[in-house]
Amino acid sequence: MNDILFADFLEHHAVYAQVQAYWQARLAFLEGQCTPYLRTAFANGQPFYDGNPIVNLADRNAGKAARIVQQCPREFGHGYTSFEQAIELAIDDGHRPAREKIIVLTLTQATAQRAEDELRAWFVPA
């Protein structure tokens, strides 16, 4: 498990913030196109700190959303899976149907690259 990145992100809030910054930098190509669509904190502002989602992005104009769920490596070991589902996205005057891509992974360089490639294809089709 030496290739795991930020292995203790669920135990230390500072490491959790580092992994969020890591993802923000990796997915910077989506800035201006996508915005968050899920809450990641309780009503009092306390973050969930559970990795679900570690990242969430929506392109409301395109009707597409995505989230990355980062798993605890000690509990789940190595892993990567993704799937799609129908959801509704909140918009100014209500809701609209959308497609959501969900990626569940244990963070390594390889899974980060795979997730980045998958999200690039999802949000910026050729």
Q: How would you label 12-46 residue by residue, b for 16+ Cβ within 10 Å and e otherwise? A: eeeebeebbebbeebbeebeeebeebeebeeeeee
Q: Which element (helix H / strand E) includes 105? A: strand 94-105
* Overall average pLDDT of the 33-48 stretch: 95
**Is the model more confident about 36 or about 94?**
36
pLDDT at 1: 55
Q: What is the pLDDT of residues 8-30, one digit of tens each?
A: 999 999 999 999 999 999 999 99
How large a percentage of the chain has pLDDT more than 90?
Answer: 90
| Residue at token pair 């996508």 | 34
